[in-house]
């Protein structure tokens, strides 16, 4: 039965058992041994070839000289012993200037450690050295600093000075000399600071006095220049500014209202609007008289229009008189409109006068405020300069330069002594590290070698990953030595491993024909091309024919048929023509020249596989062939390439999956098998082709090893 689901790996829990792990180590033991050998030889080489290195160290403690300090003006790097101050002393100890002094006093220009060529990169890494660019290019000071190690001991105020050298005495001399020159340099800096302090204070006082005088002069000069601005004439009452601002707002509103009315009246006058809307223009005796006359004319026109027709002379005269009267009315309205425009102009002039008056008051107030602000700033500057001058004057009066030389801010608590044993190399440590590295290298090589093999290497691998039994392990043939292709190897050497593997496959229930039933139809497919599928079909057909079975081999690969070429037949009409009913089956079916096997070759024509390989095409053909043959083998295209095998899978009794030994990736096989299961196919088993017998014997699988070696006498390859 086909599995309903596929496992994701070789184990449900994804882990190897202890026995499998031991088998893996045994199989890859040479990689592990080579890694250990390389590690051991590397460690021995380091111990034998590397010159010994001695490290001498001295200890300094940073302690500020507070008792001997005469005043606060003599600065020291360690006034406040915080972490940054101690770290700064570490940087001073590793400075290039201090290194030059040590080199000059100890005459290290010819020291072999500093004049020798830099070590190789791997040896520098083992020794813990970090060569700078300057040291690599022959800088003597840079090489000296590369051998010097200065660091702070934890969070304390203790600094360790360590120096590496091939001479233990020289290493101690350098560490002690560096500490000595550092403390001498501190004393020298303190003496110079005390000697310069007095002159510096006098210069500082003179500069501050001049700055104070300049600030006071600037204040007096600005007050004199700002006298008119600060007078009563520039004083602006806030109430006056507020009153003017209120008047300006009222006038502006009045002007805006009149302008709006004026604009509306202009449009009404230009359009001769109704009399009721023109009342805002005002009135005059003449305009009232003209309006009364117009009303009388309109009344008379209405009476005459009721008695006479539209063209009556009286009506025409009234209309002419009305037009003249209307012109007079328009002239009078224009005159009143001009009077209203004058009122608007007077409102605008009043608004501009108020705006100018308000702007002048604001400008005077702003000038006065700026002047007052500037005077306050100058007064603050004068006060600040005066306080600074008085503070320095008090310090200069209280300062007393000490006559005695102060003690340094550091002292030596442990001088360096010549070491008796080298710090590197240490044979036990080097050998243990090298062997550990060799072991890790061997394990990494074993892992990479094992991870690189993603194919199936045993029947158990197939069963655990795919859930299918392995029906046979077909060995890989050396065709160049034998001169025989695999499909002919069975005929020439019937007692070979290859022939026995095919007979084992024939004996499986997959190919066994039930009693009283028709011929068995088996689909042979693979995940990818070049897995030996077509060769297996022809070889298996010949093996079955040699056992007396009636065998038919069908080449159902509609894209790249190959059975006819393997059997030595010429290309011609094939399966496509038979399924399209263009050529009878009897004319297309051929006989294998080397065995009693009937062949239905593929066709060079490409047609629609969905129609030809369905139940009405290939299915009907197989139903007619079952009674006439004991075994029908169908060679199809790979599952990953096309969908043809999935169409045929529903028409056969069983599906045989061909997998190339240690080559086809497990992910491809798992995906292809799952695709068959999804369509309801019946994958019955797997055949591992091109099995490397020697490699399989070394894999420690249950179907390899000693048993396979003992059975070798039964075969004649």
Q: pLDDT tens-digit profile of 27-56?
A: 778 888 888 898 888 888 877 777 888 899
User: Is 213 a member of any domain?
Assistant: no
505 and 640 fall within a common domain: yes
Measured CA to CA in angstroms, residue 501 lies from 476, 506, 514, 522, 659 at distances of 11, 9, 22, 18, 15
Last residue of a domain, one of 353, 382, 414: 414
Say which DSSP state 552 is in: E
- Please provide the average confidence, as pLDDT, over all residues in the chain: 80
| pLDDT, tens digit, 9 for 90 and up, residues 281-339 | 555 566 666 677 777 777 777 777 777 767 777 777 777 777 777 777 777 777 777 77
**Phi-psi map region of 351: left, alpha, beta (phi>0 left; psi -120 to 50 alpha):** alpha
| pLDDT, tens digit, 9 for 90 and up, residues 594-637 | 999 999 999 877 666 667 888 899 999 999 999 999 999 999 99
Q: Which secondary-structure segment (H or E) carries 683? A: strand 683-691
77 and 173 fall within a common domain: yes
378 and 361 fall within a common domain: yes
User: Is 8 a member of any domain?
Assistant: no
User: Is 517 a member of any domain?
Assistant: yes
User: Is 423 a member of any domain?
Assistant: no
**Which structural domain range is residue 50 located in?**
38-194+406-414
- In the three-class reduction of DSSP (H, G, I as helix; E, B as strand; rest coil), residue 228 is classed as helix
pLDDT at 241 exceeding the cut of 80: no
Last residue of a domain, one of 366, 398, 430: 398
Beta-carbon contacts of 253 under 8 Å, excluding residues fewer than 6 positions away, are none
CB atoms within 10 A of CB 589: 16
Q: Order of strands, edge to edge, in the sheet holding 148-152?
A: 148-152, 158-165, 54-62, 410-414
Q: Of the given ranges (100-109, 366-375, 378-387, 610-619), which has the lowest mean pLDDT? A: 366-375
410 and 363 fall within a common domain: no
343 and 410 fall within a common domain: no
537 and 573 fall within a common domain: yes
483 and 357 fall within a common domain: no
Give dist(CA 8, CA 13) in Å, integer: 10
pTM for this entry: 0.48
User: Is 332 a member of any domain?
Assistant: yes
| pLDDT, tens digit, 9 for 90 and up, residues 654-663 | 999 999 988 8
User: Is 643 a member of any domain?
Assistant: yes
- Among 208, 123, 196, smallest CA distance to 430 is for 123
Q: Give the CATH number for residue 631.
A: 3.40.50.300
| pLDDT, tens digit, 9 for 90 and up, residues 543-589 | 999 999 999 999 999 888 999 999 999 988 899 999 989 999 999 99
496 and 376 fall within a common domain: no
* pLDDT, position 632: 95
275 and 312 fall within a common domain: yes
CB 28 within 8 A of CB 452: no
Number of structural domains, the chain? 3
pLDDT at 66 exceeding the cut of 70: no
Q: Quickly state the pLDDT bin for 686 (edges 50, 70, 90).
A: very high
CB 662 within 8 A of CB 693: no
């Amino acid at each position: 039965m086909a599995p309903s689901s596929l496992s994701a790996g070789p184990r449900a829990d994804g882990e190897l058992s202890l026995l499998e792990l031991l088998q893996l180590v045994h199989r890859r033991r040479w990689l592990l041994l080579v890694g250990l050998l390389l590690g051991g030889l590397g460690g021995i080489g380091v111990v034998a070839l590397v010159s010994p290195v001695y490290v001498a160290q001295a200890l300094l403690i940073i302690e500020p000289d507070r008792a001997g300090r005469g005043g606060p003006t003599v600065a020291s790097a360690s006034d406040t012993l915080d972490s940054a101050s101690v770290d700064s002393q570490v940087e001073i100890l590793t400075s290039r200037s201090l290194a030059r002094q040590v080199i000059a006093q100890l005459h290290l220009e010819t020291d072999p450690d500093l004049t020798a060529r830099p070590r190789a990169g791997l040896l520098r890494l083992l020794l813990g050295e970090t060569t700078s660019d300057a040291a690599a290019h022959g800088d003597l000071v840079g090489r000296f600093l590369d051998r010097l190690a200065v660091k702070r001991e934890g969070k304390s105020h203790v600094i360790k000075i360590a120096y590496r050298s091939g001479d233990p005495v020289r290493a101690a001399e350098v560490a002690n000399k560096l500490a000595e020159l550092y403390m001498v340099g501190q004393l020298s800096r303190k003496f110079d600071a005390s000697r310069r302090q007095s002159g510096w204070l006098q210069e500082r006082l003179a500069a501050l006095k001049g700055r104070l005088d300049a600030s006071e002069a600037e204040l007096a000069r600005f007050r004199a220049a700002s006298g008119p601005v600060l007078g009563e004439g520039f004083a602006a009452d806030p109430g006056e500014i507020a009153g003017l601002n209120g008047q300006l707002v009222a006038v502006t509103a009045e002007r805006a209202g009149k302008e709006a009315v004026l604009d509306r009246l202009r449009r009404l006058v230009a359009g001769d609007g109704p009399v009721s809307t023109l009342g805002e223009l005002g009135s005059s005796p003449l305009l009232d008289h003209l309006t009364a006359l117009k009303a009388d004319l309109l009344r008379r026109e209405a009476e005459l229009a009721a008695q006479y027709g539209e063209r009556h002379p009286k009506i025409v005269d009234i209309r002419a008189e009305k037009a003249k009267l209307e012109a007079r009315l328009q002239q009078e309205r224009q005159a009143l409109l001009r009077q209203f425009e004058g009122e608007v102009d007077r409102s605008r002039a009043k608004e501009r006068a108020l705006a100018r008056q308000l702007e002048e008051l604001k400008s005077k107030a702003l000038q006065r405020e700026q002047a007052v602000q500037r005077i306050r700033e100058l007064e603050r500057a004068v006060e600040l300069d005066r306080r600074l001058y008085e503070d320095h004057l008090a310090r200069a009066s209280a300062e007393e330069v000490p006559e005695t030389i102060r003690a340094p801010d550091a002292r030596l608590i442990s001088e360096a002594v010549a070491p008796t044993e080298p710090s590197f190399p240490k044979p036990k440590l080097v050998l243990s590290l090298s062997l550990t590295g060799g072991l890790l290298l061997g394990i990494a090589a074993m892992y990479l070698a094992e991870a690189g093999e993603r194919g199936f290497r045993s029947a158990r691998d197939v069963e655990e990953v795919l859930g299918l039994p392995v029906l046979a392990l077909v060995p890989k043939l050396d065709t160049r030595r034998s001169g025989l292709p695999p499909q002919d190897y069975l005929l020439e050497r019937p007692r070979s491993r290859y022939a026995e593997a095919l007979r084992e496959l024939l004996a499986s229930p997959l190919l066994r024909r039930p009693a009283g039933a028709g011929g068995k139809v088996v689909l042979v497919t693979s995940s990818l091309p070049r897995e030996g599928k077509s060769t297996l079909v022809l070889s298996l057909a010949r093996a079955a024919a040699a056992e007396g079975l009636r065998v038919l081999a069908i080449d159902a690969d509609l894209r790249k048929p190959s059975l006819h070429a393997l059997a030595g037949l010429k290309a011609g009409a094939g399966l496509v023509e038979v399924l399209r009913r263009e050529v009878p089956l009897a004319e297309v079916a051929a006989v294998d020249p080397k065995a009693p096997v009937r062949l239905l070759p593929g066709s060079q024509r490409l047609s629609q596989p969905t129609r030809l390989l369905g139940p009405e095409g290939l299915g009907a053909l197989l139903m007619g062939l079952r009674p006439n043959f004991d075994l029908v083998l169908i060679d199809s295209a790979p599952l990953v390439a096309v969908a043809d095998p999935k169409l045929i899978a529903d028409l056969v009794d069983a599906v045989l999956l061909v997998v190339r030994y240690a080559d086809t990736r497990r992910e491809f096989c798992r995906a292809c098998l799952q695709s068959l299961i999804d369509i309801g196919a019946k994958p019955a088993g797997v055949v591992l082709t091109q099995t490397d017998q020697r490699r399989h014997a070394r894999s420690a699988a249950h179907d390899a090893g000693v048993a396979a070696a003992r059975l070798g006498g039964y075969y004649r390859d």
